[in-house]
Structures are given as C-alpha cells and as structure tokens.
Structure 1
Amino acid sequence: MTRLSTTSTSTNSKAKPWHYHITIDLLFLILANSVFHPWITMVFYLCLASVHKHREPLAYYTLCYTAFLAIVEVCIWANHRITYGPHRKVVWENEVIVITGGGTGLGRVLSQMFLRKGAKVAVLDVRQPDEEAMEEMERWDLQWEVVDVSSKKQVEEAVEKVIEQFGSPTILINNAATNVRGLPLLATPTKTTTLSAEQASSTLTINALGHFNTLSVLLPYLTSSKTGAHIVTISSILAHLAPASLSDYTASKAAVSSLHHTLCNELRSHPDRSVFAKVKTLLVEPGQLDTQLFADKTTVPFYAHFFGPVLEAKDIAKEIVRRIERGDGGAIRLPFYAKFMPYFGVMPGTVQLAFRWFSGIDGAMLPVAK
C-alpha cells in the first residue's frame, strides 16, 4: 500500500522537547486509565483477595469504589445512547465522503486517513490540487473539485460530479473556513486597524453560509441513504469564549454550532423515526490546532501550553475517524479544558474574569499591521 504523507499539515515539523508533552491532558489520561477506571480498581481488589485480604476495610472500600465507577460508566453510556441513538454500521469501502476545505490542515489529514481506510473521498476546496494531491488521485479513490462553498451553485455542480463518479454521498465533513483576521472592533493605540463590515461579511459567508449550502444540497442524499450517514460539523471552542479581536470568527463558529444543534433536533423530531437512527451527527469543537489558521498570529503566557496544549491536526482527525468508524454521534471537545467550556457562560462573572486573565485569551491576538 502506498504511504500517504502528512508533512504539509503542520506548521512546525521540528522535534519538540520532552517537556512539551507534559500537559494536564496527559495527567488526566493517566488518571482516567488508572484510579478512575473500574476495571483497574477491580484488578486491585482481586489482588487483595488473592492474598486473603478481601475482608479488610481497604478491600471493602475498593469494591464499593469500583461499583460506583461502574455505575457512572453505565449511566454515561445510557445517556449517550438515548441522546444520539444507536450505532450505525460503517463499511469504509461503501462510504462516499465529501470534505469541504480538504486542501490543507485538518481537512487534508482527514482525507488522507479516510483514503487509508479504503473510502471514496471527494475534496471540495477553493485551492487547486497540489502535486501530492495529484499523485493521490492516481492511486486512490480521491476526487478534487475546486469549489467556493459560499456559492450554492458551485456546490451543486460539484456534488453532481461526485455522484457521477462515486455514487451518493454518505458522509459530509463541513470543515471549510477562511483565514483568521484577528482584527478588533474597537481601535486602540496598539491595534489601530479595525474589522470592517465587508471583512466580517466575508468570514460569515464562508464559515457559516458554506455549511448551509452544503447541507441544503447534500441532506436529501444523506437522509435517504440505506446504509445511514454521518454529518460532521467542524466548529471551535472559541464559539463559547468569544475572545477579543476575533468577533467575526467566533460569530461564525457560534453560528455553525447552533446550526448543528438545530439539525440534531430536526433529525430527532423527524416523522420517520428511522432517519434519526440512521443519520449520525458529530460536532467537533477543538481548541487551537497547529495549522495555518492561527499560525504566527497569537501569543499566550508561558504556562498556557500545560493547561491548554496546542493540538496536532492528526489527533483531532484520529478521534473523528474513530467515532465515525464506531457509527456513533456526539461531540468531540479537545483538549481537556474544552469539555467544560459549554458551561463557561453560567459560571459567576468573577470566575470568568479570573479565567480570562489567567489564560491571557483576550490579549492573545497579535496586532495586525495596516
């Protein structure tokens, strides 16, 4: 099998120092697979029992703790199944995947991972395919369409070509997004260039309206698929945080997150109950990725990486592929702190202010020269 390269997806290909990998996410991962894992604590109890100490208080408390963890796991599983419905069976050779913005970054990594799985992949991107993509199209079931997703007509024409070559799409990855401008609404001595209405309109058109266009064209095919379908919305955790100087970007991401939730509710309330059972929805709200979107545009305190590490695109892509392969829906929020950000707005104002000061989020965007 031909090896696919992902060297162009990261903004930093240099080897990272060992301490770069020591983060709060690593610590919680260790805890989740040790003292907070019911199978591990059960093994500890069995070890005590093997040396005839099962009647001692330590063994008793260990068994109770294990039972508590097991109940929590079952409740989490039951809640997820009720919320998102049963799994659908995914056979990669039968999947036709449409990825918007698949030319670079996360979209590019996803397309390459899907190709490795044996799926048929159609990339919709404003960029022309590069040399690497041309080679991939010769070796794999990859179709590349130059499309501006803000134009519904262009999306319709591209989807017609995809259906002609691969068949009806079964997975939609709404990933296309424009570059981050990082311009404030209010001028300051250090940031004199402000965001214009035209620039904001451009960002919202590409980042948000593009999702409406692709859904408008592809939903009839996805909901009528006999094997089921997946709709993946790539948003951002910044939709919940709204940092300074990112009003157009955060507004667009808040819009697509809201669009995703509305779509989920419409599928759930559809008169044909089989539609909700077959069509899985997956919302992806990651923290900062090591792609060109924010490259060289932000600065954060020296300790920020420990609490909110910059993610590699392949890590998010692996989790997306894993969820789809399981035939599951839900939400993916990484790194660890991102899981709590949907609740950020209900925290006391002083707590929110303390978090913003500690993270340096409102001063992260560097000034943009005229």
Structure 2
Amino acid sequence: MTFAGASIENDVVVITGGGTGIGAAIADRFAAEGARVALLGRRLGPLEDVARGTGGLPIVADAGDAESVKAAVDSIIATYGRVDTLVCNAGGGGFATVGNTDDADWTASMHANLHTAFTASRAFLPSLALSRGRIVMIASLSGLFAGPAMAGYTTAKHAVIGLTKSLARDYGSSGIRVNAICPGWVRTPLADEEMDELVEHLELGNRDEAYNLVTTDLPLRRVAEPSDVAAAVRFLGSNESAYITGATLVVDGGAHIVDVPTLAFEKARA
C-alpha cells in the first residue's frame, strides 16, 4: 500500500559521503523507489561505483568546504533543477582521548563530522526552501553518549544534534524539516576495521566474533546493516514523516535503553 504524499519518485536526494557504507545504502534505497540521487564525496572511484548502480550523479566535493559545496549545488540544480532532500552523512575520525588529541586532529574531526553538516546544510537551504524539503543528519549513538577514547567524534556528533535542532527551529517556517538519526554499530568498512582491531587485541577468531561481542548486550543481539539505517533515512527523507522535525531517531538495536548497571543481574540469571 502506498499512502498519499509518501512517494519519493523523481525526488532529488543529495547524499554527502555517498560513495561507501551507509551513504551508498541510502542511495540504493532512494534510487530503488525512483528518486534521483546526487552523490558527494572526496573520491571519484567509489562515487562512480555507486552511481553505476543507482543512475546517480557523482560529484567530487569536500562537504566541509564552502566553495566546493557551492559548485556541487550549481551542478545539481543544472542537472535536476531542484533538491528535495539533503542527507548529511559525511563523517569520521576523532578517535582518541582529549590528552592524546593534538590541534590538527581536533580540527580534522570537527571538519569531518560537524563542518560538513553545517556547510552543506547552509548551501542547500535556498533550494530546500523552494521545495519545502528535508535535511536528514546522520549523527551517531556517540551524539548521545560517550565511548572510550572518542573525544573528537563524540563532541562533534553531539554538536550535530544541536545543529539539527537549531535548523529545525529556524527554518520550519520555510517548510524545511530537519531530523537526525543516531546509528549504533553498523556493518561498514570503517566498522570492519574497528572489529579487526578488536580481533587482534582480544585474540578472537574472526570479525563476526567481534561483532557478536559488541552487540551481546543489545536487546536485538545483532549489528545493523547499512540498509537498516537507509530505511530510517527514507522515512525521515519523505513525506511519511511530514509532521516530524527537530527529532532524533535512534537506530541502535536497543542499545540506548539498556541499564548498564543491571547487566550483571541479567548475566547471573542466564
């Protein structure tokens, strides 16, 4: 059943960090329903790979650089004539304690995770106002909590949620809705690298054992696939969520509802 207003056919969806992982899955999901996708990223090869499967427009751009994003906006408008949804997915870096983070690493983390979201949102606001469009921020569970040795990433993702609320407050009267998604562990190339480190440090058998270990206390007991996050983005990036703005949707298998101090009791009863 298709509900009135829920179709995304012919919508123009812009995805930063669109060449791999979650970004690629988002492109696949929207394209499968007839949307036209524009893929922004810093490496042409991965963008072209996703574009071949989605019919999308690959654009090499640093989403945190104003001139680079302006050129991308011009290219997208020249090609498609409009923008309906912006997905701010670019991010990464900032995995160290404060004491082990130098100025360059801090700046790089803020650029990758926060400046990209700010700069892309600002650049696309005029086009989104014309279409009464949507912005979906890919934040993180680290935007709500703090993991070990993740100072830059955690700080930036908390700020992305603040940016989401500020944009929603200021531009709702222009018809623009802005929401954030906070994924937990997602099976991506970046997460695979982290699992491989865990395998080495804990002398586990393989990567799947590492994923099982980091999700053992989740209610759903599994790692997310990129398609799980893409489904949430499709909801917030369409008129199915027409009266939702400024919200944070957690996609983490239930990690955020677990009362950590009671885990010992669960294990005792097992």
Which band: TM-score by shorter chain? Answer: 0.7 to 0.9
Aligned-pair distance for 1:325?
4.0
Aligned residues: 242
TM superposition score normalised by structure 2: 0.79
CA distance in 1, matches of 2:183, 2:146: 14
**Which of 32, 39, 46 is the matching residue for 1:116?**
32
The equivalent residue for 2:157 is 253
Cα displacement (A) at 1:357: 9.4
Deviation at 1:168, TM superposition (A): 1.5
Displacement of 1:149: 1.1
**How far has the Cα of 1:103 moved from its partner?**
0.3
**CA offsets 1:271-329 (integer angstroms, 9 cap, x no match):** xxxx3xx4332210111111122323254796642333321111111232144344303
Aligned residue number for residue 248 of structure 2? 331
Letter in 2 for 1:257: I
Q: Secondary structure at the match of 1:168?
A: coil
SS of residue in 2 equivalent to 1:93:
coil
Q: Would you say the 8 A contact 2:11–2:84 is kept in 1?
A: yes
Matched, 1:167 2:167: no
Residues 185/143 of structure 1: CA separation in 2 closer, same or farther (3 Å cut): same
Q: Secondary structure at the match of 1:289?
A: coil
Task: Give secondary structure in 2 for the equivalent of 1:182.
Answer: coil
Distance 1:302 1:168 in 2: 43
Name the counterpart of 1:262. 166
Match of 1:207 among 110, 113, 119: 113
Root-mean-square deviation over aligned CA pairs = 2.7
Q: Which amino acid in structure 2 is aligned with residue 162 of structure 1?
A: I
Where does residue 232 of structure 1 map in the other structure? Answer: 136
Measure, in 1, the Cα distance between the counterparts of 2:234 and 2:140.
18
Q: Which residue of 1 aligns with 2:18?
A: 102
Distance in structure 2 (CA, Å) of the matches to 1:175 and 1:212: 12
Contact 2:39 2:51 in 1 (8 A): no
- 1:152 aligns with 66
2:181 aligns with 284
1:332 CA drift (Å): 2.1
- Equivalent position SS for 2:114: helix
Report if aligned partners of 2:141, 2:252 keep a CA contact under 8 Å in 1.
no
Instruction: Extract unaligned runs of 5+ from structure 1.
Output: 1-86, 187-193, 342-350, 359-370
Partner Cα separation in structure 1 for residue 16 and residue 130 of structure 2? 21
Q: Tell me: CA distance 1:195–1:356, structure 2 relative to 1, closer, same or farther (3 Å).
A: farther
| Structure 1, 323-332 or 111-120: larger mean CA deviation | 323-332
- 2:103 is aligned to 197
Establish whether residue 89 from structure 1 lines up as the match of residue 5 from structure 2: yes
8 Å CA contact 1:286, 1:338 repeated in 2 = no
**Does the residue aligned with 1:205 lie in a helix, a strand or coil?**
helix
Distance 2:263 2:138 in 1: 24
For residues 155 and 82 of structure 2, the distance between their equivalents in structure 1, rounded to whole angstroms, comes to 32
- 1:159 deviates by 0.8
DSSP 3-state at the match of 1:295: helix
Unmatched 5+ residue regions in structure 2?
Answer: 199-209, 266-270
DSSP-derived class of the 2:96 partner: coil
Partners of 1:280 and 1:327 within 8 A in 2 = no
Which residue type is aligned with residue 147 of structure 2? P
CA distance in structure 2 between the aligned counterparts of 1:302 and 1:295, rounded to whole angstroms? 12
Percent identical among aligned pairs is 24
